[in-house]
Amino acid sequence: MTGFFAIVGRDLRLSLRHGADTLAALLFFVITAALFPLAIGPAPETLGRMAPGIVWVCALLAALLPLDRLFGADFEDGSLDQLLLSGQPAALVALAKAVSHWLTTGLPLMVAAGPVAGMLNLSADAIIVLLAGLLPGTALLSLFGATGAALVLGARRGGVLLPLLVLPLCAPVLIFGVAAVDAAASEQTYAAPLLLLSALLAAALPLCPLAAGAALRGAAE
- Compute the distance between CA of residue 20 and CA of residue 33 in angstroms, rounded to an integer: 20
pLDDT in tens, 161-176: 888 888 898 999 999 9
pLDDT in tens, 39-49: 888 788 888 88
- Compute the distance between CA of residue 29 and CA of residue 146 in angstroms, rounded to an integer: 20
Half-sphere exposure of 53 (CA within 13 A, CB side): 8
Average pLDDT of 110-134?
Answer: 91
- Compute the distance between CA of residue 211 and CA of residue 114 in angstroms, rounded to an integer: 33
- Compute the distance between CA of residue 203 and CA of residue 172 in angstroms, rounded to an integer: 13
Average pLDDT of 180-194?
Answer: 89
* Burial call 86-115: b when 16+ CB within 10 Å, e when fewer: eebebbbbbbbbbbbbbbbbbbbbbebbbe
pTM of structure: 0.89
One-letter identity of residue 197 = L
- Compute the distance between CA of residue 28 and CA of residue 22 in angstroms, rounded to an integer: 10
pLDDT at residue 158, as a whole number: 65
pLDDT in tens, 12-32: 888 887 777 788 889 999 999
pLDDT at residue 10, as a whole number: 83
Give the DSSP H/E element, type plus range, for residue 157: none
Q: Which residues contact 113 (CB under 8 A, 6 or more apart)?
A: 29, 55, 59, 130, 131, 134
Residue 151's pLDDT band, with cuts at 50, 70 and 90, is confident
pLDDT in tens, 99-121: 999 999 989 999 999 999 988 88
Q: Where are the domains of the chain?
A: 2-220
